[in-house]
Amino acid sequence: MDQTQLFSPELLSLARDAEDALRDTFARLDALSFENTARVLDAFRRHGVSDSHFAGTSGYGYDDRGRDTLDLIYADVFGAERAFVRHSIACGTHALSIALYGLLRPGDVMLSVTGRPYDTLAEVIGIAEGGEDMGSLADFGVRYREVAMKDGKVDLASVAAALGEEGARVKIVYLQRSKGYADRPTLTVSEIGEVARFVHESCGAYVVVDNCYGEFCENREPTAVGADLIVGSLIKNPGGGIAEGGAYLAGTARAIEKCGARFTCPGEGLEVGASHGQNKSLYRGFFMAPHTVAAALKTAHFAAYVFDRLGFDVSPGYLEPRSDIIQMIRLGTADGLIRFCRGIQSGSPVDAFVAPEPSDMPGYADQVIMAAGTFVQGASIELSADGPLRAPYTAFLQGGLTFESGKYGILKAAAYVTAQ
Ligand SMILES: *Cc1c(COP(=O)(O)O)cnc(C)c1O
């Protein structure tokens, strides 16, 4: 079919300009994807991945070779001593909870140094309204402190002051790599490395990183530069758009042992937990992940260019390198944000006929609108967008299983936003 029947000549010309302007960026992302793919394949070969690893176990799941080998592969690729990857971890928040409960004991302090963590952790930490006696960290006598970021960086002077006041009680220094839904820059792996070095020189705390949306955006992960533990969701980057769910933790042998004891129970740790036939999709997803993440990054750069040229404020800028897959686009009006999300939805492979509506969400003061026409429910490695209905009406866009489908979705969004 003639492409011009789908999009206006103006939009198609803008798309060509975008790809011209992003030629070097795309070449750099192809090289990154190759480097990360090589690292993954090298680990597959060294660990002798074969068909027998895809067989599922049931019951206790003792000696599940597929599961145990994938754990070793994740550890290798992420530059960690140990790791565990499980389809049975419900979501990223669940995995982060395993990390926090695994390492923190009554009387300990968790010190977040990237400001307030991701929204869903408030009830886990025990700093949300309500939820009393639901077993939050606060219910178990764990204290929480936070240091806000300053000028887009971790404020090391304030971190030093907090560590000075709390001393050895600080068991976790916590960082969130991605901006998430906050308006601040995403941390690079090298910035996280500097913080880890600083913390390890000052105290014995574990440096724990919420790595969601960050995996494979650079050629190494925070564990390769000194983080004690990283955590992420498989319906984001490392699942490669193939995993049906699950999450991973990777880090030092000691941290992973403790988290394994929390994930199942002390004494059994990572030796139980059947894989129920999910191994193949976790392997295949990890194999795809460097490529899929590069496609999502290309889609983000492409969206930044198109919407910048259409006169909207975007962050990061279209040429800026990234350490996560999130693109912010400030639509400026409620109508613009709604049109943007409807355009993304109409450009999706699943539920493209649905028109998203703003709605109330538990825990949010403003209505939120979301577009997610995804194969795996809520998977945000697939093209998706959302944003709260408040000024400056920012859409948070992420994902794209292929650049072609990402480009299609962005052009749909542009067509909806610019329609008369
Ligand atoms: C997605 C995400 C999480 C975890 O969210 P879930 O919806 O529970 O998977 C945590 N932190 C960040 C920065 C995230 O992007």
The residue whose CA has the least distance to atom 13 of ligand 1 is 180
Helix or strand (DSSP H, E) at 172: strand 170-176
pLDDT the model gives residue 131: 75
pLDDT the model gives residue 180: 87
Work out which ligand 1 atom sits closest to the CA atom of 179.
Answer: 13
Work out which ligand 1 atom sits closest to the CA atom of 235.
Answer: 9
**Interstrand relation of 229-233 and 247-251 (parallel, antiparallel or unpaired):** antiparallel
Q: In which region does residue 390 sit, left (phi positive, over 0), alpha (psi from -120 to 50) or beta (all else)? A: beta
Work out which ligand 1 atom sits closest to the CA atom of 121.
Answer: 10
pLDDT the model gives residue 238: 98
* Ligand 1 pocket, residue 93 CB under 6 Å: yes
* Ligand 1 pocket, residue 188 CB under 6 Å: no
Q: How far apart are CA 191 and CA 37, in angstroms?
A: 24
pLDDT the model gives residue 181: 83
Q: Which residues of the chain have pLDDT under 50?
A: none
pTM above 0.85, yes or no: yes
Work out which ligand 1 atom sits closest to the CA atom of 94.
Answer: 8
Write out the E strands in 177-268. Answer: 206-210, 229-233, 247-251
The Cα angle at residue 283 between residues 60 and 40, in degrees rounded to 5: 130
pLDDT the model gives residue 330: 98
pLDDT the model gives residue 364: 75
CA of 194 to the centre of ligand 1 (A): 24
CA of 123 to the centre of ligand 1 (A): 14
pLDDT the model gives residue 4: 55
CA of 2 to the centre of ligand 1 (A): 40
Tally Cβ neighbours within 10 Å of residue 202.
15
- Is residue 279 a contact partner of residue 54, using CB atoms and an 8 Å limit? yes
- Is residue 342 a contact partner of residue 412, using CB atoms and an 8 Å limit? no
Tally Cβ neighbours within 10 Å of residue 239.
30
pLDDT the model gives residue 420: 82
Tally Cβ neighbours within 10 Å of residue 204.
9
